[in-house]
Amino acid sequence: MRDLPLDGVVVVELSDSASAPFAGQILAALGADVWKIERPTGDSARGWGPSKWKGSGAAFHAINQGKRFISLDIKDPDDLATLHRLIAEHADVFFHNLRPGSAAQYGLDPDSLRVTKPELVCCEVGAFGNVGPLSEAPGYDPLMQAFAGIMSITGEDGQAPVRAGVSIVDFGSGMWAVIGILAALCRRQRKHVGATVSSSLLETAIAWMTVGIANYNADGDTGGRHGSGVAFIVPHRAYDTADGHLVVSCANDRLFARLCAALDRPEWATDSRFATNDGRLRHRAQIDGLIGARLAEHPRAHWQQVLGAAGLPCAPVQTTSELVNHEQTRALGIIGKPSGDDLALVGLPLMFNGKRPGPLSAARDVGQDNADLDKLMASRRGRRETEPAGGEAVLDVGIAK
């Protein structure tokens, strides 16, 4: 599928690890022509394990689809000059996740770049943010889940803190970066000026704590660990059935009453301890115990049928294998591969006019597209020598999407 929202937008991505590469992949999936700049030894994620595909970590392939792969050493003056030319002559967007202060050291900070290209959109994906006493400290996803308090409310009561099993801070930061870049591009279209966008792991982690922070500011409640449940709704968690776990969610008293009827326990809905969510919060252990004991009487599939027929929100706790092979996942068509010998990966979780963009090109080897860069630079140099003053042209060196 072509004719995507960002067709014609050129993005230069100087990135490593997870947050910024994920942002670049989203932009590529939206149609942008993304040039990923790697150091000669490659992105750190190429070495992540344990799963590998064609010599690189499967995690690297998962967040680096649809890009050109250019190898440049920005510590080398010639390579740095090439990067500056690529940005100045072709880029609409430049973003990076360099260590704090490094961008200015190489003249890749917004103030330096927009001297020659005022309309450039620049974005930095940082760790602790660009101000404050920790602004120059390095950071990774687990550190931010700890620092922002996410781990303090994740896991079972009385047990050690638990990190979310996926990199919610890394991927969230990449998403916020994309939102900021898209907003800046819209503004540029109207006002013909660039913008500086910044996102950070800590700010993202704080944003994910928005409800917990509101609760604390309201009454000083710092939350707690509720396993698969949440602090402010009961029932809203995973329960054991006879053969697996089932999440049951009743976000209001009406749904709770319907659950009681479906479980053939209508008296719970009129019990003064359980009739309202406030009451259920105060008597969490009791009502969870009653619901759990009832659900344990039958297999998961039985309760899915019973609760589903009653219009009650529920879902099995699935393994990755179950998710990938479920008919709903297959119907969405969100997992695909560009060719028969490529790794099947998750695509863009968006549709345009009822259609999902097709699979992106697979992640490539370090520097695999350097020849395209050489061709682009040579063509630009040739045009400067031969075209009349004021002439302008666009070279399309293409990339398979």
pLDDT tens readout for residues 209-258: 999 999 999 999 888 889 889 888 999 999 999 999 999 999 999 999 99
Q: Residue range 264-287: average pLDDT?
A: 97
Instruction: Write out pLDDT tens, residues 18-56.
Output: 999 999 999 999 999 999 999 999 999 999 989 998 889
Q: Residue range 55-67: average pLDDT?
A: 93
Options 1.10.10.60, 3.30.1540.10, 3.40.50.10240, 3.40.50.300; CATH for 236-316 is: 3.30.1540.10
Burial of 172: CB neighbours in 10 Å, binned 0-12, 13-18, 19+: buried
pLDDT at 384 over 60: no
- When pLDDT is cut at 50, 70 and 90, the band that residue 2 belongs to is low
Q: Residue range 263-284: average pLDDT?
A: 97
Burial of 367: CB neighbours in 10 Å, binned 0-12, 13-18, 19+: middle
pLDDT at 391 over 50: no
Q: What is the rounded distance in angstroms from the CA atom of residue 124 to the CA atom of residue 14?
A: 10
Which superfamily does 10-208+331-386 belong to?
Crotonobetainyl-coa:carnitine coa-transferase; domain 1 (3.40.50.10540)
Question: Coil, strand or helix: which one is 186?
Answer: helix
Q: What is the rounded distance in angstroms from the CA atom of residue 358 to the CA atom of residue 361?
A: 10
Catalytic residue ranges = 170
Which percentage of the chain shows pLDDT scores above 90? Answer: 76
Domain boundaries, the chain: 10-208+331-386, 236-316
Are 373 and 86 in contact, with CB atoms under 8 Å apart? yes
Of 359, 386, 353, 364, residue with least CA distance to 36: 364
Q: Which residue has the higher pLDDT, 20 or 394?
A: 20
